Structures are given as C-alpha cells and as structure tokens.
C-alpha cells in the first residue's frame, strides 16, 4: 500500500504526503478544539471566583472563536507536510496572516461588543450615546486596520488605495451630510449631557420623558402616550427645559380682592398667606405683597418654593394653599374680585346734575 502511495502523484506531490497532510489536518483540528475547550473551562472556573467582569469578558471572547478558522489553521498546518515550492510556501504564509489576523479581529470585535453591553447595562439610567459612538469608532478602526494590513500583505500599494478612499470619502460625506450632522449631534449629547434617559424635558410643543438616545434620533414618550422621534440635530437647535434636574420649584401666583376691602384688612393678608404656605409642608415661603391696583381688583402676588421638584406634589401643595387662602379671606370678611366694569352715564343739559352710577358686571 505504501509503495502504491509513493508511486502515485497528485499535483506533483506523492499521495503519501497527501495522506500525511490530511492526517495532520484532522489531528491539528482536534487538538486545537481540545485546547480551546480546556482553556475556556479553566478560565471560566477561575472567573467565577472573582468579582470583576474583565475575566468573564475574556472567557466570552474565547468562546467566540470560529471553528471555521480553527479548521483553516489546521489545514495550513497540514500543508507544511506537502513540501510545497517556494511560491506556494509564500502564499501559505500570507494565508496564515489572513487567518490569524481575522481571528484576532473577531476577538477584538467581540470584546468591544461585551464592553459596550457592560457599560450600557451599568449606566442604564444615563446617556449611552458616548459608549455607542466609542464602540462604533473602535469597530470601524479595527476593521479598517485589518483590511489595510491584509492588502499590504498581499502586495497591494495601500498608499494609493488610501488616497482614493480619501477622495471617495469626501464625496460620500457630501451625500450623507445630514446623517453625519445627526451623528455629531449625538456625540455632542453624549459629551455635554443636556439630558439623559429618564429625564423629563420640554422644547417647543413637545413635553415628555426621554426613552432612547440613538446615533441619529432621540425618542421621547409624551405625556399623552405617543412616541415622538426627533432628529438629534434639530433637537439641539431648541431650548430644552430639563425638569428632572430641578432641585426645587419656584412658584409665583396672584389673587385679587374686591375694592370694598379696608386697609386694616389688607395689612393682615400677607401674614395669613405666609401661615398658609408654611402649613402646606415641603415649602419655603419667600414673600407676599399687595402688588397694585388692578382694573377690577386689589392684586396680591405670592412667591414660594416647593423643596421637592415633583409636579404632582406641587399641585397638591398649591391646592392646599388655594383652599387656605379662601378660608382666611372668608374669616376676614373679604371677597375675591372678578372682572367687572363700572359705567357712569352723563346727563343731558337741563336735567338733574347728579349722575347716577350704574354698575355692570
């Protein structure tokens, strides 16, 4: 059998060497797979005894090893027994670079994905745009370097190739300038953080809670329930009110009393307002003043602070204050003014001189 194999050739190589190469390929693939499983099992057991996520990520990266590339590496190992010509040996060396470089790139790409997932999960309540943009840039840089290295290894003049890519890149940038504008706007959101996921914001006629910040758009859940999708560039052109970052809420309100009130009654109003505001709870009284003489009322202006920014709490407090103001005005014998107008009718010549006032409400 061995004599027959030695006497038969395929592509100028004895069949015996082909058999050796096939056996080496099979053994190499099995050995590489076994070594990979042993390494993953040992590292997994070790990572379970630690509290960091880096070793867990390293295990997951190794688990992402492509068996197709392991088989390709085993085939390249087997070809070492074929005693190929220098030309083919040079080509095999280039294939080694391709297989090893591609597997390294896949490992790094998986590592970037795990890092992104860890960052987003750990900072779920914050803005994930910067993490997403960083991952996108790292992946683009990784695959660009791999592509250029592969082309250089194959003898391609990458200097001219990069120059042509630069010209093409300018054309592409002009074609997708709106998309790029949104991408840079998302980067600005990630760096400056005018708002984050979970913040309640208002701008223009939009009011709602930020649910998602993407590379091109931001999604906001409005008060009425629908989802509003805004381009990042257009969003940053607006003045954004971020209510999530309020530490306290300043409230200004007014009320008007009738002109039948006496000065003695009006002097007692600011103090009674102060008592009502302080009794409402979670408030800090600022001032209450007899502001001026309105067209149909004596106007009082009140300023106070709610020490908690919650809107529902503010409405509860304002309701207590409104009821308290109504109670003490009733106790003081005062009345709330409402819009009214007094009309004086002039008498014709020769009639009684006294003018009779008429009040119309």
Strands (E) across the chain are located at 9-10, 13-14, 200-203, 206-213, 217-222, 227-231, 241-242, 249-257, 283-293, 298-306, 341-344, 357-360
Burial 9-39 (b: 16+ CB within 10 A, else e): eeeeebebbbebbeebbeebbeebeeeeeee
pLDDT at 16: 66
Q: State the chain's mean pLDDT as an integer.
A: 80
Ranges of CATH 2.30.30.60 domains, the chain: 181-245
Task: Give the model's confidence band at 326: pLDDT under 50 very low, under 70 low, under 90 confident, else very high.
Answer: very high
Question: Whose structure tokens read 């190499």?
Answer: 28
Residue 157 has pLDDT above 60, yes or no: yes
Residue 275 has pLDDT above 50, yes or no: yes
Q: Name which residue leads in pLDDT, 172 or 97.
A: 97
pLDDT at 297: 92
User: CA 162 to CA 158: how far, in whole Å?
Assistant: 6
Among 88-102, 185-199, 277-291, 335-349, the range of highest mean pLDDT: 277-291
User: CA 44 to CA 59: how far, in whole Å?
Assistant: 6
Residue 285 has pLDDT above 70, yes or no: yes
Residue 73 has pLDDT above 90, yes or no: no
CATH topology of domain 249-331: Alpha-Beta Plaits (3.30.70)
Task: Give the model's confidence band at 286: pLDDT under 50 very low, under 70 low, under 90 confident, else very high.
Answer: very high
Ranges of CATH 3.30.70.100 domains, the chain: 249-331
pLDDT at 125: 44
Question: Helix H segments across 219-310?
Answer: 232-236, 263-279
Task: Give the model's confidence band at 7: pLDDT under 50 very low, under 70 low, under 90 confident, else very high.
Answer: very low
User: CA 181 to CA 184: how far, in whole Å?
Assistant: 5
- CATH number of the domain at 181-245, out of 3.30.559.10, 3.100.10.20, 2.30.30.60, 3.40.50.10860? 2.30.30.60
Query: Per-residue pLDDT averaged across 285-296, rounded?
Result: 93
């Amino acid at each position: 059998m061995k004599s027959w194999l030695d006497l038969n050739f395929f592509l100028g190589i004895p069949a015996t060497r082909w058999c050796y190469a096939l056996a080496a390929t099979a053994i190499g693939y099995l050995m590489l797979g076994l070594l990979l499983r042993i390494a993953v099992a040992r590292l997994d057991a070790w990572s379970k005894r630690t509290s960091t996520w880096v070793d867990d990520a390293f295990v997951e990266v190794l688990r992402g090893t492509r068996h197709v590339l392991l088989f390709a590496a085993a085939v390249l190992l087997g070809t070492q027994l074929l005693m190929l010509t220098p030309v083919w040996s040079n080509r095999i060396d280039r294939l080694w670079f391709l297989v090893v470089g591609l597997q390294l790139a896949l490992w790094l790409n998986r590592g970037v994905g795990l890092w992104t997932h860890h960052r987003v999960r750990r900072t779920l309540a914050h803005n994930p745009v910067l993490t997403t943009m960083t991952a996108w840039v790292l992946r683009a840089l990784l695959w660009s370097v791999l592509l250029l290295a592969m082309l250089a290894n194959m003898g391609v003049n990458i200097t001219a190739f990069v120059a042509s890519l630069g010209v093409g890149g300018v054309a592409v940038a002009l074609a997708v300038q709106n998309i790029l504008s949104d991408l840079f706007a998302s980067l600005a959101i990630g760096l400056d953080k005018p708002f984050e996921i979970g913040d309640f914001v208002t701008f223009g006629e939009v009011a709602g809670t930020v649910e998602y910040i993407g590379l091109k758009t931001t999604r906001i859940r409005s008060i009425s329930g629908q989802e509003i999708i805004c381009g990042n560039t257009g969003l940053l052109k607006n003045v954004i009110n971020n209510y999530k970052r309020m530490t306290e809420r300043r409230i200004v309100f007014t009320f008007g009393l009738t002109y039948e009130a006496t000065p003695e009654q009006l002097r007692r109003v600011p103090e009674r307002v102060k008592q009502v505001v302080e009794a409402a709870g979670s408030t800090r009284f600022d001032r209450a003043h007899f502001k001026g003489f309105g067209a149909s009322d004596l106007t009082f202006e009140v300023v106070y602070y709610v020490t908690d920014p919650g809107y529902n709490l503010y409405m509860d407090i304002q309701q207590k204050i409104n009821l308290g103001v109504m109670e003490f005005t009733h106790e003081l014998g005062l009345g709330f003014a409402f819009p009214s107008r007094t009309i004086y009718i002039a008498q014709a010549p020769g009639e009684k001189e006294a003018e009779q006032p008429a009040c119309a409400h």
